[in-house]
């Protein structure tokens, strides 16, 4: 009789051991991965409302004042704020130059408004630069932001507005002229006419000038046209120039070729109900209301063609 051979269903001992070891390895690996705690990622400081140059025009002028503003919020607390002005690898320069400032006075603060003015050093070199802002946090993190900055010699600016005339009249008499007050301690009183001529040189293209009276209690000192809060200012005059092909002068008082006045000096009575804002005069009420105290008379000009700003201020005492 022929014997029929059948396959055994029994598993050999060697295979059982291998299977057991594999399952143990997989279980151990999965358990290890899920049980290992991961360190939470540290939060970084944040930065907002960065402004480089007046009106955020990203322009610095050698030897002249430079405006920097930023709002910083730390993840923990601020350690320090650092800025660097460094040359770009893609540009060529007349010599190697860089500049660095480290501000430690904000250490320990949770947040801060960094509002600084400093002179662009006299040995600076014209060209395009990286402006690098670094915020270090006391939790060990840091944030670096890179912006563009153009540095010019003053003579090479496309426009360079400066005042050649800044004169203030009280009624028909000089109050301020050629950088000085005619009578120290003098002031304006109710019904006196405030009058002023302002002439800028070094402008072309398109631009606009605001002449403002601002009560110092308002704590408002706009450094560009875009920063004017009209709820806090009395607008004495607004005037524009358009399509000036060549660099020249611009004034809120105009004369023709025969030296005849074609735009009169505005007269704003102290205590007037409305100012001279354009196109709609504002009521001088609320936070703008006339009050006894020191006012800032502020010239604010923006060249809209080249995005260059200019400001100049003097003190005006008013006694109602």
**Strands 78-87 and 99-103: what pairing?**
antiparallel
Q: 208: helix, coil or strand?
A: strand
Check whether the bond before 279 is cis (ω within 30° of 0).
yes
200-235 confidence digits (pLDDT tens): 999 999 999 999 999 999 999 999 999 999 999 999
Residue 128 confidence (pLDDT) above 70: yes
- Write down the pTM of the prediction: 0.78
Domain 46-156 sits in CATH 3.40.50.740: no
- Within the chain, where are the H helices? 13-35
pLDDT of residue 31: 47
Q: What is the mean pLDDT of residues 34-54?
A: 81
Q: Are 118 and 65 in contact (CB under 8 A)?
A: yes
Higher-pLDDT residue of 56, 214? 214
Q: Which of 37-51, 81-95, 241-255, 256-270 has the lowest mean pLDDT?
A: 37-51
91-115 confidence digits (pLDDT tens): 999 999 999 999 999 999 999 999 9
Q: Are 50 and 133 in contact (CB under 8 A)?
A: yes
Give the rounded percent of residues in the chain with a pLDDT score beyond 90: 82
Confidence of residue 1 (pLDDT cuts 50, 70, 90): very low
Distance (Å) of CA 309 to CA 58, 93, 110, 303, 314? 11, 26, 32, 6, 18
Confidence of residue 38 (pLDDT cuts 50, 70, 90): low
The CB density around residue 213, as the number of other CB atoms within 10 Å, is 23
Number of residues in the chain: 320
| Domain ranges for the chain | 46-156, 162-319
Same fold, 46-156 and 162-319: yes
Confidence of residue 70 (pLDDT cuts 50, 70, 90): very high
Supply 17's token pair: 């051991």
| Secondary structure of 80-92 as H, E, C letters | EEEEEEEECCCCC
Return d(Cα 67, Cα 55) in angstroms, integer.
9
Report DSSP letters for 107-157, one per residue.
TT-SEEEEEEEEEPPTT---EEEEEEEEEEETTS-EEEEEEEEEEE-GGGS
The CATH class for the domain spanning 162-319 reads mainly beta
Write the Ramachandran bin of 191: left for phi over 0, alpha for psi from -120 to 50, otherwise beta.
Answer: left
Higher-pLDDT residue of 8, 270? 270
Q: What is the mean pLDDT of residues 62-84?
A: 96
Closest CA relative to residue 89, chosen from 52, 42, 60, 128: 128
136-152 confidence digits (pLDDT tens): 999 999 999 999 999 99
Phi, psi at residue 115, to the nearest 5°?
-115, 110
Q: Are 207 and 304 in contact (CB under 8 A)?
A: yes
Return d(Cα 280, Cα 274) in angstroms, integer.
10
* Average pLDDT across the chain, whole number: 89
pLDDT of residue 257: 85
183 contact partners, CB below 8 Å, separation of at least 6 = none
Q: 52: helix, coil or strand?
A: strand
pLDDT of residue 34: 53
pLDDT of residue 39: 64
């Amino acid at each position: 009789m022929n014997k029929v051979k059948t396959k055994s269903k029994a598993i050999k001992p060697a295979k059982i051991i291998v299977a057991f070891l594999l399952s143990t390895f997989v279980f151990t690996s999965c358990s290890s991965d899920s049980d290992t705690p991961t360190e939470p990622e540290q939060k970084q400081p944040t930065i907002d409302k960065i402004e480089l140059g007046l009106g955020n025009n990203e322009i610095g002028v050698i030897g002249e004042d430079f405006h920097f503003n930023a709002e910083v919020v730390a993840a923990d607390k601020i350690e320090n704020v650092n800025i660097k002005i460094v040359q770009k690898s893609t540009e060529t320069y007349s010599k190697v130059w860089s500049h660095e400032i480290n501000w430690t006075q904000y250490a320990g603060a949770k947040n801060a408004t960094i509002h600084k003015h400093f002179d662009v050093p006299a040995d600076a070199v014209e060209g395009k630069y990286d402006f690098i802002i670094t915020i270090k946090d006391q939790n060990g993190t840091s944030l670096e932001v890179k912006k563009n900055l153009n540095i010019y010699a003053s003579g090479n600016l496309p426009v360079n507005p400066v005042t050649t005339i800044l004169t203030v009249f009280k009624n028909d008499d000089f109050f301020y002229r050629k950088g000085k007050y005619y009578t120290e301690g003098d002031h304006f009183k109710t019904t006196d006419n405030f009058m002023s001529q302002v002439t800028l040189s070094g402008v072309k293209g398109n631009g606009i000038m605001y002449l403002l009276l601002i009560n110092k209690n308002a704590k408002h000192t706009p450094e560009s046209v875009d920063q004017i809060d009209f709820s806090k200012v009395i607008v004495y005059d607004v005037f524009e120039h358009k399509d000036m092909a060549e660099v020249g002068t611009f004034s809120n008082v105009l004369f023709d070729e025969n030296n005849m006045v074609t735009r009169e000096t505005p007269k704003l009575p102290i205590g007037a109900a409305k100012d001279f804002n354009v196109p709609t005069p504002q009521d001088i009420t609320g936070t703008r209301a006339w009050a006894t105290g020191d006012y800032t008379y502020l010239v604010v000009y923006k060249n809209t063609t080249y995005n260059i700003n200019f400001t100049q201020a003097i003190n005006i005492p008013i006694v109602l």
